[in-house]
Every structure is written in C-alpha cells, then in structure tokens.
Amino acid sequence: MKIAILPGDGIGPEIVAEAVKVLRALALPLEMETAPVGGAAYEAAGHPLPEATLKLAQQADAVLFGAVGDWKYDTLPRPLRPEQAILGLRKALGLFANFRPAICYPELTHASSLKPELVQGLDILIIRELTGDIYFGQPRGRRTAPDGPFAGADEAFDTMRYSRPEIERIARVAFEAARQRRRKVTSVDKANVLETFQFWKDVVTEVHRDYPDVELEHMYVDNAAMQLVKAPKKFDVVVTGNMFGDILSDEAAMLTGSIGMLPSASLNERGQGLYEPSHGSAPDIAGRGIANPLATILSAAMMLRFSLKQPEAARRIEAAVQKVLAQGLRTADIAHEGCTVVGTAAMGDAVVRALG
Ligand code: NAD
C-alpha cells in the first residue's frame, strides 16, 4: 500500500507529521513517500504541482494532503498560486466524489453555535460532485487578458452542465455510502428553476431503482440550507452538485463548530483518493505547534477505510480520537473550561497511546 504524503504549506507539515506518526504506529505494510506541493513546491521547483509530485500521486494508492496557501503568494499569476495544486490533483486523478462528514463529538457539543440538542449525536455525510457543474462549464466574458480585469465589459456568464454518466456515478456513490450508514439519501437540487437540476433529479431517481433498500428524498437547495441549521439530524447522506456542495459542505462543517476536527476524502472511479483536512493552511498559527492535527488524523482513517480497504485500522484511529477527547485533551481551537490544553505533537502522541 503506497501513500503519497504531500504536507504543503502553513500548518500542513505540522499536522501531517502527526497523521504519519499515527499511521506508522498501526504497524501495517504502508510505504510512504513525501513530496512538496503548493507554495513549498513553488519555492523548491518553481511550480505548485511539480511533475515529480504529480507522478508520485498518480502512482500511489492514496494521497495524504495537508493544506496549501499563504497570503504571500496572492500576487503570483493564478497558474502559479499554491491553490492550483489541489485543482491540478483533482483533475489529473479524476477525483469526482468529495466526502465531507460532519460529526459532532459529544465532548465538543458546546463548540457549535447551534443549541446542543440540535447537534448532539450529529453524524451526516455530504457528498459533493467535484469535477462537473458550473465550475467546469464554459466561462465567458470580455476580459482584457486571460487573468486581467473586465474593462468595459457589459456581461459575463458561466455555463452549468451535467452529463448523465456524471450524475449516475455520483448517485451510485451516495447510495452505496448510505448502505453503510442509515440508508437515507437526500438529493439536493434546484429543479424548480434550473434545467440542469431537473435532469439531475430525474437521473438520481432512475439510479435509485437499483437501491430499493435506501430511502431517497429530493430537496431544493434553499430548503436544504435552512434544514441544515434547523434540524440537521434529519439528514444521513446528502448528495449534490459541485456548487451547491461547495456551499452546503461548509455550512454542515460549521454545525460542529470545530474546523480543526473535520476530515475529507476525494475519490476517483478506481477508489484511489486524496485525503485532507477540511480546513486550510492557517498561516496565522503556522510554526507555533498549536494547530489541531485531528482533522488530518481522521482523514488518514478515511484513507484506510476507502482506498486501502483497512476498515479495522480506520476504526482503531477513530476510537483513539474519541478516547483522547474523553480524556479531556484539547488543542487551543477546541479548548474550554476544565480541559487540558495540549500542542500539536502532544495531541498526536496521545492518539498513538490511545490506539492501544
Ligand atoms: P483556514 O482554514 O486556513 O483558517 C481559518 C481559521 O481557522 C484560522 O483562524 C485558523 O487559525 C483556524 N484553523 C484552521 N485550521 C486549524 C487547525 N487545524 N487548528 C487550529 N486552528 C485552525 O482558512 P483561511 O485563513 O481562509 O485560509 C488560509 C490559507 O489556506 C489561504 O491561502 C487559503 O487559500 C488556503 N486554503 C487551502 C485549502 C486547501 O489546502 N485545501 C482550503 C482552504 C483554504
């Protein structure tokens, strides 16, 4: 089992080091190779996604990714900015299915901005289609240069588009995931206004015929945004397009109140995946040893489950995270009265000890 380790920028190297520590402690036959990505790769090789890094990712069974970006790169031309690395990897690996679980741990219920009873026991999974929709349609406008200003323009537009195979494969991913959970899928669309999403709804309904054991409901995106804060526990698996998924997955993430806790996975048709925390590179706290490594450690657990087919090892990591939280250990971002505040490395060590 070969893993490409891409730590990236900011807190990326600090949090990835803890996830690697946990993976090593499992004593599985894992081969790990590290390569630069993002701003670090721009500094080292003049490009955020160097050929050698891309090759390593393509040859690996899975990629463990930290985070990329720093404000100091904001003035670079767009193709050289760190964030292009993640877009390049998604495209090159064909990562069309983005999994973003939002789980509220009992010990962290207080971190949510919602009332505790609304989020206590929350466990939902947002599945976002990642390679289609309006983000990959035809953009049009009258820029003075490809990345220049819209001088004198009177309109700009983007094209929303989905093909049948694109909808079918993401719908299957959602129904399969629901079979491992509470067997309910909510397909989110805007079929009342957009042709693309009437088509989405029709195709999801057709695919559902193969999954009679899973309940399917359709919901308009505006209602879904509302229901997520009104009664989030009603959901199990939510499947939606790229743009609605972008927005709803961030909303769902914030239900738990702790961005440092949320893992994510992006998978292709071969089950190869890129695993990363849902947060960014947090340049404001980089290098201080205070970042929360749990989102990255939980991303490594998702990697073991989805790409490396090691569900038992994944469960061990998840149980170990629950255990350290129950012990009262907290990094600064999730700290509260009465807890023990620890740094990044100490949190990683505690998870290793809790593996048992
Ligand atoms: P961010 O997620 O990096 O940080 C937002 C806030 O959350 C900050 O206050 C930060 O300190 C805190 N935070 C984030 N992760 C944390 C952790 N593990 N532990 C403790 N606190 C944590 O978002 P931002 O500040 O908007 O973006 C910073 C940079 O990250 C930008 O360059 C942005 O482009 C990039 N970014 C990268 C990715 C990615 O690599 N996939 C995703 C989002 C943002």
Q: Is the model's pLDDT at 246 over the cut of 70?
A: yes
Measured CA angle at 123 (ends 201, 67), to 5 deg: 90
CA atoms within 13 A on the CB side of 117: 0
Average confidence score pLDDT of the chain: 94
Task: Confirm or reject: Cβ of 259 under 6 Å from ligand 1.
Answer: yes
For residue 195, give every residue at least 6 positions away whose Cβ sits within 8 Å of its Cβ, in sequence order, or none: none
Per-residue confidence band for 57, with pLDDT thresholds at 50, 70 and 90: very high
Q: Is the model's pLDDT at 248 over the cut of 70?
A: yes
Q: Determine the topology of domain 1-96+268-356 in CATH.
A: Isopropylmalate Dehydrogenase (3.40.718)
Range from 43-52, 144-153, 196-205, 249-258 carrying the lowest mean pLDDT = 144-153
Q: How much distance in Å is there from the Cα of 133 to the middle of ligand 1?
A: 25
Atom 11, ligand 1: which residue's CA is nearest?
Answer: 282
CB-based contact 65:73 (threshold 8 Å): no
Q: What is the pLDDT of residue 148?
A: 66
Task: Confirm or reject: Cβ of 260 under 6 Å from ligand 1.
Answer: yes
Counting DSSP H helices and E strands in the chain, the numbers are: 12, 14
Ligand 1, from 65, 259, 294, 347: best to mutate by most atoms within 8 Å of Cβ? 259
Nearest 5°: phi and psi at 202?
A: -65, -45
d(CA 76, CA 189): 36
Q: What is the pLDDT of residue 280?
A: 94
Q: How confident is the model over 99-121, as pLDDT tens digits?
A: 999 999 988 888 888 999 999 99
- List of long-range contacts for 79-85, beta carbons under 8 Å, 24+ apart: 80/42, 80/47, 80/48, 81/48, 82/8, 82/9, 82/37, 82/38, 82/39, 82/42, 82/48, 82/281, 83/38, 83/48, 84/48, 84/49, 85/8, 85/37, 85/38, 85/41, 85/48, 85/49, 85/53
Q: What is the pLDDT of residue 143?
A: 63
**Every domain of the chain and the residues it spans:** 1-96+268-356, 101-258
Q: How much distance in Å is there from the Cα of 153 to the middle of ligand 1?
A: 34
The reply to whether 101-258 shares the fold of 1-96+268-356 is yes
Per-residue confidence band for 158, with pLDDT thresholds at 50, 70 and 90: confident
Q: What is the pLDDT of residue 340?
A: 96
d(CA 212, CA 208): 7
Per-residue confidence band for 144, with pLDDT thresholds at 50, 70 and 90: low
Q: Give the whole-number percent of the chain exceeding pLDDT 90.
A: 85
Q: What is the pLDDT of residue 73?
A: 94
Q: Is the model's pLDDT at 26 over the cut of 80?
A: yes
Edge-to-edge strand list for the sheet holding 97-103: 31-34, 2-8, 62-67, 273-277, 263-267, 97-103, 123-129, 237-240, 184-189, 215-220
d(CA 172, CA 179): 11
Per-residue confidence band for 140, with pLDDT thresholds at 50, 70 and 90: low
Q: How confident is the model over 284-320, as pLDDT tens digits?
A: 999 999 999 999 999 999 999 999 999 999 999 999 9
Q: How much distance in Å is there from the Cα of 351 to the middle of ligand 1?
A: 23
Residue type, 303: M
Q: What is the pLDDT of residue 146?
A: 62
Per-residue confidence band for 155, with pLDDT thresholds at 50, 70 and 90: confident
Per-residue confidence band for 254, with pLDDT thresholds at 50, 70 and 90: confident
Q: What is the mean pLDDT of residues 161-175?
A: 97
Q: How much distance in Å is there from the Cα of 283 to the middle of ligand 1?
A: 7
Q: How much distance in Å is there from the Cα of 282 to the middle of ligand 1?
A: 4
CB-based contact 216:187 (threshold 8 Å): yes
Q: Is the model's pLDDT at 256 over the cut of 90?
A: no
Active site residues: 135, 190, 222, 246, 250
Ligand 1, from 73, 274, 279, 284: best to mutate by most atoms within 8 Å of Cβ? 279
Place of tokens 């805007």: 190
Task: Confirm or reject: Cβ of 278 under 6 Å from ligand 1.
Answer: no
Task: Confirm or reject: Cβ of 86 under 6 Å from ligand 1.
Answer: yes
Task: Confirm or reject: Cβ of 74 under 6 Å from ligand 1.
Answer: no
Nearest 5°: phi and psi at 99?
A: -100, 125
CB-based contact 281:11 (threshold 8 Å): yes
> What's the pTM value of the predicted model, to 2 decimals?
0.91
Task: Confirm or reject: Cβ of 70 under 6 Å from ligand 1.
Answer: yes
Task: Confirm or reject: Cβ of 282 under 6 Å from ligand 1.
Answer: yes
Q: How far is CA 249 from CA 170, 293, 318, in A?
A: 16, 20, 21
Residue type, 77: P
Q: Which of the two residues, 152 and 318, has the higher pLDDT score?
A: 318
**Domain spanning 101-258 has what CATH number?**
3.40.718.10
